[in-house]
Structure 1
Amino acid sequence: MRIKKHWNTIPFDPRKIPFFYGWVILFAAVFGVLVSAPGQTVGVSTFTDYLIDAIGINRNQLSTAYMIGTITSSFVLTWAGRMYDKYGARWTAMAASLLLAFVLAMLSQSDRLIGLFVTDTDSTIFSGTAIAVMLFLFFMLRFSGQGVLTMVSRNMLMQWFAARRGMVNGILSVFVALGFSITPLTFDWLIQGTSWRMAWLLMAGGVGIVFTLFAFFFFRDNPEDLGMLPDGEKHDAHKNDVTIKAFRQFNLSEARKTFTFWLYAIPLALYSLYITGFTFHLVSIFEAVDMDREKALAVFIPVSFLSVGISLVGGWISDSIRLKYLLYFVLSGELIALFSLGNLNDGIFYYGFILGHGMTSGLFNVLMTVTWPRFYGRKHLGGITGFVMSLIVFASALGPVLFSFSYTRLGSYSYAFFGFAFIIVILLLLAWKGNNPQDKLQNEKSFD
Structure 2
Amino acid sequence: MQAPPSRPRFYLGWTVVAVAALSAFTEVAFYNPVLGVFIPAFEREFGWSRTEISAGVTLGSLVGAAFAPFFGPLIDRFGGKPFVVGGAAFIALGLVLLSQMQTEWQFFIIYALGRGTASGLMSLAAGVTVSKWFIRRRGFAVGVMSLGSRIGFAALPLSVQLIIEASGWRTAALSLAAVVVVFGILPAARWLHSRPEAFGLAPDGEHSPAPGPPRAAAGEVNWTRHDAVRTRAFWLVTLAVSLQSWAGGAINLHQIPHMVDRGLAPDTAALVLSLLAVFAATGGLIEGVFDARIGARWTLFLGLLGSATGMLFLMNVDGIGLAVAFTVVYGTAFGLTVASSQIVFADYFGRQALGAIRGAATPAQLGLNAVGPLVAGAAYDLTGSYIAAFVPFTCAYLAAATALAFASRPGLPAQLRPRPAT
CA 1:210–1:63 in structure 2 vs 1: closer, same or farther (change >3 Å)?
closer
Answering whether residue 134 of structure 2 is matched by residue 134 of structure 1, we say no
Contact 1:187/1:199, CA 8 A, preserved across alignment:
yes
Match of 2:230 among 257, 263, 271: 257
* Post-superposition CA distance 1:400-421 (Å, at most 9, x none): 3323455565787555444444
Match of 1:328 in 2: 301
Correspondence for 2:88? 97
One of 250, 267, 277 as aligned partner of 1:277 = 250
1:358 paired to 2:348: no
Q: Is residue 74 of structure 1 aligned with residue 48 of structure 2?
A: no
Query: In 1, are the aligned partners of 2:139 and 2:340 still within 8 Å (CA)?
Result: no
Q: 1:362 to 1:100 in 2, by over 3 A?
A: closer
Shift of the 282–234 alpha-carbon distance from structure 1 to 2, 3 Å rule, reads same
My pick for the range that moved more, 95-104 or 419-428, is 419-428
For residues 71 and 99 of structure 1, what CA distance do their matches in structure 2 show?
17
Given that residues 201 and 207 in structure 2 are in contact (C-alpha distance below 8 angstroms), is that contact kept between their aligned partners in structure 1? no
* Aligned CA distance change for structure 1 residues 416 and 191 (closer, same or farther; 3 Å): closer
The answer as to whether partners of 2:61 and 2:366 remain within 8 angstroms in 1 is: yes
Over alpha carbons, which structure has the higher Rg? 1
RMSD after superposition: 3.8
Tell me: CA distance 1:132–1:254, structure 2 relative to 1, closer, same or farther (3 Å).
Answer: farther
Asked if structure 2 preserves the Cα contact closer than 8 Å seen for 1:328 and 1:431, the reply is yes
Number of the residue aligned with 2:355:
382
* Corresponding residue of 1:216: 189
Q: What residue number does 1:85 align with?
A: 76
Letter paired with 2:220 = A
Gaps (5+ residues) in structure 2? Answer: 1-6, 209-216
Alignment-mate amino acid for residue 307 of structure 1: A
Count the aligned residue pairs.
401
Shift of 1:152: 1.6
Using the TM superposition, name which of 213-222 and 188-197 deviates more: 188-197
Distance 2:181 2:260 in 1: 42
3-state SS of 1:102 partner: helix
Contact 1:100 1:207 in 2 (8 A): yes
Residues 430, 84 of structure 1: alpha-carbon distance in 2 compared, 3 angstrom cutoff = closer
Q: Give the one of 48, 51, 59 matched to 1:58.
A: 48
Query: C-alpha deviations, 1:307-366, integer Å up to 9, x for none?
Result: 333322221231343333213312322332345556677799878755652342021122
Query: Counterpart in 2 of 1:248?
Result: 222
Letter of the 1:308 counterpart: A
Q: Which residue of 1 aligns with 2:154?
A: 181
Q: 2:35 aligns with which of 36, 44, 47?
A: 44
| Fraction of identical pairs, as percent | 21
Listed one character per residue, the Cα deviations across residues 142-189 of structure 1 (whole Å, up to 9, x for unaligned) are 122233222222221111111101112222233431232011233345
How far the C-alpha of 1:247 sits from its partner, in A, is 1.6
> Whole-Å Cα distance in 2 between the matches of residues 34 and 381 of structure 1?
22
Residue 426 of structure 1, CA deviation = 4.5
Change (3 A) 1:140 1:442: closer
CA distance in 1, matches of 2:273, 2:175: 29
- Evaluate the alpha carbon distance shift between residue 280 and residue 39 of structure 1 in structure 2; reply closer, same or farther with a 3 A threshold: closer
User: TM-score, normalization: structure 1?
Assistant: 0.75
Question: Residue 24 in 1 paired to residue 3 in 2?
Answer: no
The 1:348/1:317 distance shift into structure 2, 3 A limit, reads same
Change (3 A) 1:165 1:179: same
Quick check: 1:244–1:374 contact (8 Å CA) kept in 2? no
Question: Structure 1 pair 411/45, CA: closer, same or farther in 2 (3 Å)?
Answer: closer
Distance, in Å, in 2 between the alignment partners of 1:351 and 1:207 is 30
Q: Which of residues 271, 275, 283 in structure 2 aligns to 1:310?
A: 283
Q: Secondary structure at the match of 2:149?
A: helix
User: What one-letter code is carried by the residue in structure 1 that aligns with 2:348?
Assistant: F
Per-residue CA distance 1:192-223 (angstroms, 9 max, x = gap): 67664455445445545774343221111101
The 8 Å contact of residues 28 and 219 in structure 1, kept in 2 or not, is answered as yes
2:391 is the counterpart of 1:391: no
How far did 1:437 drift?
Answer: 2.0
CA distance in 2, matches of 1:436, 1:388: 16
In structure 2, how many angstroms separate the alpha carbons of the residues matched to 1:43 and 1:391? 24
CA distance in 1, matches of 2:39, 2:325: 31
Alignment-mate amino acid for residue 300 of structure 2: L
What does 1:100-111 correspond to in 2, within 5 Å?
Answer: 100-111=91-102
Task: State the AA in 2 paired with 1:319.
Answer: A
Aligned residue among 271, 293, 298 for 2:264: 293
Name the CA shift for 1:66/1:178 in 2 (closer, same or farther; >3 Å): closer
